[in-house]
Amino acid sequence: MENKTDLKKKLSPLAYHVTQENGTEPPFKNQYWNHFERGIYVDVITGEPLFSSLDKFPSSCGWPSFAKPIQKLVTKMDRSFQMIRTEVRSLKGEHHLGHLFSDGPVDLGGYRYCINSAALKFIPLEQMETEGYGQYLSLFGGNDETKS
């Protein structure tokens, strides 16, 4: 795991605040809230795969929303701001990503992973193989990048 000094050099101030200080970026003013290109979203620090664009949906909340993760994530009770919420953290790095709510579309399972863009890096479908995420091409129907 990288130390705080190295992370401050590697990350933008906002990404550091979100991932290391359990921060939240402004709604509707973040990179991926309205982004629907095909590909996967990975942890901005560790690169571990988190979400597929296939499970992303428009929630009108101002942050990227996903019905489910690609792999298991860490969840913890969050009692900050006089609320009780479920915090979502990456499995490998245990970095703060966002929160999990049970108000997602019923046809997608009913969950909404509300995630900060600053905690994510997007890997476009056509770059997944070269970026080392070829094993996740099967989510999109195989390893032929031209499939829709």
Distance between the two ends of the chain, CA-based, in angstroms? 37
- Residue 61: active-site member: no
Contact of 63 with 29, CB cutoff 8 Å: no
The burial of 97, by beta-carbon neighbours within 10 Å (0-12 exposed, 13-18 middle, 19 or more buried), is given as buried
CA atoms within 13 A on the CB side of 57: 17
Given 15, 44, 100, 114, the catalytic residue: 114
d(CA 13, CA 9): 9
Active-site residue list: 114
